[in-house]
Structure 1
């Protein structure tokens, strides 16, 4: 195979195999290939950019903290302790060796694709991973991590990131964000208000979290004081550049209660006397309260629903949360969100972005909701679905009902910093491929397709997230 054919195959990766459609897709992709990255929801720690320290080692950078990777290795028989998960003591080189010798496990997976892109395009590692090449690749990466070009700020600029949002605790002082803004060393880095542990009575330390929230804001320990404390912290986040509040929930239920009912329920959940039904009602009422606050203060409300967290109790007890055993479940947005939408759904200043990992709700629920309610937007494929084929299914599921304008734009939702450009590139190629098929089938003309892909890469997420 000639070098030219290798270059062409790489250039056209993820684009349609049919030559005619591929040609149209290539032209669409090249319009946006180098456009700045807008990342309004993610999990890169702000400290990485504030401190700008070199990444410690290849295993920590690419494996240990990426549960896409560790979960599949665990399924194949590798212990999470052998991978350094949850603070387990593990030699980084040995972690890397275990990963490299099992590299074929990742064939066809989205994580395998992202890691390949990061290795080749960011770290200049072109040797195929295997047990035989593990040390060579490890040393190559380790040598680069010591260079200024591989520090977080340099990568931020190299990746062409225009906006990057972090995810932050409501009581965080946001000093890191203030320092970055004052220094102006990188592009726009925004905090995101993530109040789950203060809203969910089943969260570890809920009562203590609520007590700390009202104490630090000087609010009374009543339900009204609790709501005022949350509102105060939201204003603080807005003053530090936040544009959104994020809610990670298992069930997207909402409930509209009278103030006196809310007060009684609050007292029971804080005291620990509430039963399972009452705790569920409190979560549902607080999700509606979060929508009310977003109407009042303008924060975009993103809802990531439908994941059973910490499915393996034994693993959770040993390794803690975010250790690879969060599992999707069925969701009901139509019934669950109806109380919220009955009250606030027609508010044009409310931007409610719905993310799901249950593919069946895209065409059945989310697209029809976004196709009517001016407040509702379709969140991009998330978590288990942010992969090329799933992105294509997503576009097919929502476009015929809601078009392109009701989407959020691509959301990388990641802590894996090196994978950010690969993830956005994947989405751009997937969108180009989908639009190209519409062009070739005579359903959209090329001029319209070009305008659409231009919009969904930058202007659309800026509109949806009020950037």
Structure 2
């Protein structure tokens, strides 16, 4: 019987142990998509206690606490930081077989060298020990990233963001790089006409351009796209229920935009036409600059309207959706490819029922110009756990080239989430190790070790080409 979270955690064979410890464990991390706050990095924030860095903004933990019967007062409410931590500790013993149980204890070990199991009995001691360490200079935000050998982080930024903290940080000496990612979801979100018009007004103020027609709107957004590029951005990202690929004419989109600016309601078809046009424009700009574009597909957001009013968005009330994806995704990618305007692309899937569809769809648009040009992205959100990662790896192995995969990312708001890369690396090595010991792969550790190192680090380094 193995000990919980020992050196060979998740590694079921001797070959897997060799692969992990010799070829994966010590590699740097390129975290090309996360939701870290740039200001906290630029100002090198020093957290006062573990709740601030560990629980604030973590909707994974919040969902588990609610399921355990914990009042919202201790989750997003006004309870003290220590009270919130104690309620999380009360929940942890009930998270067994949820990835949170593994992540919680990996993070306590890797960042704080705390090897005790978190429970009500140990909560006070762990809270005080971890919080005391967090107040030391070697536990400021940048030190936390350095401790995990982070080489690159890409934040998630709206087109109207000033990028002032990226600019400040870029002028300083650091062991890692921080780049913005262009996330224009609000720029095409016309489901709420009033909110969209407020966004357009803000964009006009930021760019100092009058936006009275669609052409001017594109001009303003393109100016922000250029501004992001000037500040080191080479990655875009979209969080969508699905890809939109309706047919449209330029005149139709111009007319739809004027209707929206006139506070007139638009039809469902017009809504989808507008979103389709915007996606094409963004993709064309990405291609012009040689950016990598990312599409996160399949989340059904804000399901609980009562709790949305209490806790706001991104508070743990989203779920997997069952949207029809294939035809629109094919049409969208084909439109870009036909005009030679398809840049490097990563598609992330939230519904595991669509894994095989996504894995085969990306293969339609790999054209031999770049290894892994169009990627089936890592298991995302609800799927970035042992079963979900394994299914994504196996699907990609069966339908494409796992060896060209750009690997894991955190997609997280927490500076303590980087052991997720370790979690992924251990699972990857375990799968290869088992195949070797079962005689399904040759015992060629030098080559397979290289493949693993590539997936964990080198493929992303070559694919994104961060400077």
Using structure 2 for the length normalisation, give the TM-score.
Answer: 0.92
- Cα gap change, 1:444 to 1:372, in 2 (>3 Å): farther
CA contact (8 A) 1:156 1:186 kept: no
Give, in whole Å, the separation in 2 of the partners of 1:96 and 1:173.
34
Deviations 1:99-120 (A, max 9, x none): 1122212111112211111112
CA contact (8 A) 1:331 1:361 kept: no
CA contact (8 A) 2:248 2:273 kept: no
Give, in whole Å, the separation in 1 of the partners of 2:459 and 2:224.
28
Query: What residue is the counterpart of 2:241 in the other structure?
Result: 250
Of residues 111, 116, 121 in structure 1, which corresponds to 2:110?
A: 121
Query: How far did residue 348 of structure 1 move?
Result: 7.6
**Secondary structure of 1:189 counterpart:** strand
Of residues 197, 202, 214 in structure 2, which corresponds to 1:212?
A: 202
CA contact (8 A) 1:256 1:288 kept: no
Deviates most, 423-432 or 119-128: 119-128
Give, in whole Å, the separation in 2 of the partners of 1:157 and 1:74.
33
Of residues 305, 318, 322 in structure 2, which corresponds to 1:326?
A: 318
Deviations 1:270-298 (A, max 9, x none): 33321333223322322222222212222
Give, in whole Å, the separation in 1 of the partners of 2:462 and 2:252.
37
Query: What residue is the counterpart of 1:438 in the other structure?
Result: 435
How many residues were matched structurally? 453
Deviates most, 56-65 or 70-79: 56-65
Give, in whole Å, the separation in 1 of the partners of 2:211 and 2:83.
53
**Secondary structure of 1:434 counterpart:** helix
Of residues 281, 284, 291 in structure 2, which corresponds to 1:299?
A: 291
Query: What residue is the counterpart of 1:425 in the other structure?
Result: 422
1:223-262 to 2 correspondences below 5 Å: 223-262=214-253
CA contact (8 A) 1:52 1:151 kept: yes
Q: Unmatched 5+ residue regions in structure 2?
A: 367-372
Deviations 1:87-107 (A, max 9, x none): x31111111111112221211
Query: How far did residue 442 of structure 1 move?
Result: 3.6
Deviations 1:143-202 (A, max 9, x none): 111111110111121110011111112111211111111112341110111111111112
Query: What residue is the counterpart of 1:65 in the other structure?
Result: 57
Query: What residue is the counterpart of 1:371 in the other structure?
Result: 363
1:27-426 to 2 correspondences below 5 Å: 27-30=18-21, 31-83=23-75, 85=76, 88-202=77-191, 205-217=195-207, 218-273=209-264, 274-345=266-337, 347=340, 350-363=343-356, 365-374=357-366, 375-420=373-418, 422-426=419-423
CA contact (8 A) 1:370 1:406 kept: no
- Cα gap change, 1:371 to 1:378, in 2 (>3 Å): same
Q: Unmatched 5+ residue regions in structure 1?
A: 17-21
Deviates most, 276-285 or 139-148: 276-285
Query: How far did residue 269 of structure 1 move?
Result: 2.9
Using structure 1 for the length normalisation, give the TM-score.
Answer: 0.92
Give, in whole Å, the separation in 2 of the partners of 1:406 and 1:280.
34
Deviations 1:288-328 (A, max 9, x none): 22222212222211011111111100000111111101111
Give, in whole Å, the separation in 2 of the partners of 1:98 and 1:465.
41
**Secondary structure of 1:336 counterpart:** helix
Query: How far did residue 425 of structure 1 move?
Result: 0.2
CA contact (8 A) 1:62 1:115 kept: no
**Secondary structure of 1:168 counterpart:** coil
Give, in whole Å, the separation in 1 of the partners of 2:134 and 2:156.
25
CA contact (8 A) 2:243 2:332 kept: no
Query: What residue is the counterpart of 2:462 in the other structure?
Result: 463
